[in-house]
Amino acid sequence: MTALLEVEDLRVAYGKIEAVKGISFSVEAGQVVTLIGTNGAGKTTTLRTLSGLLKPSAGRIVFDGKPLGSVPAHKIVALGLAHSPEGRHIFPRLTIAENLQLGAFLRSDKAGIERDIQRAYELFPILGERSKQAAGTLSGGEQQMLAMGRALMSQPKLLMLDEPSMGLSPIMMQKIMSTITELKAQGTTILLVEQNAQAALSLADQGHVMEVGHIVLSGTGRDLLVDESVRKAYLGED
Ligand code: ATP
């Protein structure tokens, strides 16, 4: 079986600085795959390249059987790849409902859009309770929920989440992680970038550890959780 996403020897540079130095990994349909690693490892750069926001300097990206090489970002969304970016980027003055509707900008099936908005409210009841309020009034964790809900509105085949737990309280982080588990149970395929290695590896099928632009270790979430070098470097053990 071919994977939903295949990344082969991907390189990405900002001018002369190479941030991603030849990484390869794949995501099978139905899997949660996580990229973990410290600040500056190249995780966000990788997601932005997959979304078409940055151009690779070398390598191959094949999504759902199609090479993405020079496909522009809006067409990549249409192919089924959605990105919930680091820092959320919701529209603070628009209402929660309007933010969700914007996530469906490529769709014209009104009934389906309404059904998916309701689904977002089921996943995150607080969004339903406050649907008519400006999104800027939500807390950081609630804005993260909205960003995830909005990304889901494009009915993606692959949902990419960049640091969904960043800056959240432990309770809110727990909520976000259990929602990712729930989405996985519903069959959503997810590529998750996280600095919280413990949380990410606990729910991932596959994990890859990135360091300064390279993947230095790969394995199942469970294997990496018990790996001694991972425990020392990322899980705060001596
Ligand atoms: P973080 O968790 O901080 O987002 P990351 O693993 O996602 O870390 P990237 O943001 O992809 O890492 O950054 C990888 C490298 O590329 C870093 O050295 C960073 O300083 C550099 N970099 C990122 N964005 C730019 C940019 N716009 N211009 C120049 N260099 C950049």
Instruction: Give Cα 201 to chain centroid, integer Å.
Output: 14
Checking if the pLDDT of 141 tops 90, the result is no
Domains: count for the chain: 1
- Nearest CA owner, ligand 1 atom 20: 40
Distance 167 CA to ligand 1 centre (A): 18
Average pLDDT over residues 83-92: 85
Checking if the pLDDT of 82 tops 90, the result is yes
Checking if the pLDDT of 51 tops 70, the result is yes
Judged by DSSP in three states, 21 sits in strand
Average pLDDT over residues 154-164: 94
| pLDDT for residue 69 | 79
Helices (H), the chain: 43-50, 73-79, 96-102, 110-123, 125-129, 140-152, 170-185, 197-203, 221-226, 228-234
The structure tokens 């349909």 sit at 29
Rounded to the nearest integer, the mean pLDDT of the chain is 93
| pLDDT for residue 37 | 92
Number of the ligand 1 atom closest to the C-alpha atom of 41: 6
Q: Is 16 in the pocket of ligand 1 (CB under 6 A)?
A: no
| pLDDT for residue 26 | 98
| Cα–Cα distance for residue pair 149/55, rounded to 1 Å | 27
Domain with residue 15: its CATH number is 3.40.50.300
Query: Which of 11, 12, 20, 39 to probe ligand 1 with, by most ligand atoms within 8 A of CB?
Result: 39
Confidence tier at 237 by pLDDT (50, 70, 90):
low
Checking if the pLDDT of 56 tops 80, the result is yes
Confidence tier at 12 by pLDDT (50, 70, 90):
very high
> What is the span of the domain harbouring residue 180?
5-235
Whether ipTM exceeds 0.85: yes
Distance 195 CA to ligand 1 centre (A): 14
Q: Give the pLDDT confidence of 113-130 residue by residue, as tens digits.
A: 999 999 999 999 999 999
Q: Is 70 in the pocket of ligand 1 (CB under 6 A)?
A: no
Number of the ligand 1 atom closest to the C-alpha atom of 40: 12
Checking if the pLDDT of 134 tops 90, the result is yes
Number of the ligand 1 atom closest to the C-alpha atom of 86: 4
Q: Is 14 in the pocket of ligand 1 (CB under 6 A)?
A: yes
**Strand pairing partners for 10?**
23
Q: Is 184 in the pocket of ligand 1 (CB under 6 A)?
A: no
Q: Is 49 in the pocket of ligand 1 (CB under 6 A)?
A: no
Q: Give the pLDDT confidence of 94-115 residue by residue, as tens digits.
A: 999 999 999 998 888 999 999 9
The encoded tokens of residue 35 equal 């990229």
Average pLDDT over residues 185-204: 94
Checking if the pLDDT of 209 tops 80, the result is yes
Q: Is 37 in the pocket of ligand 1 (CB under 6 A)?
A: yes
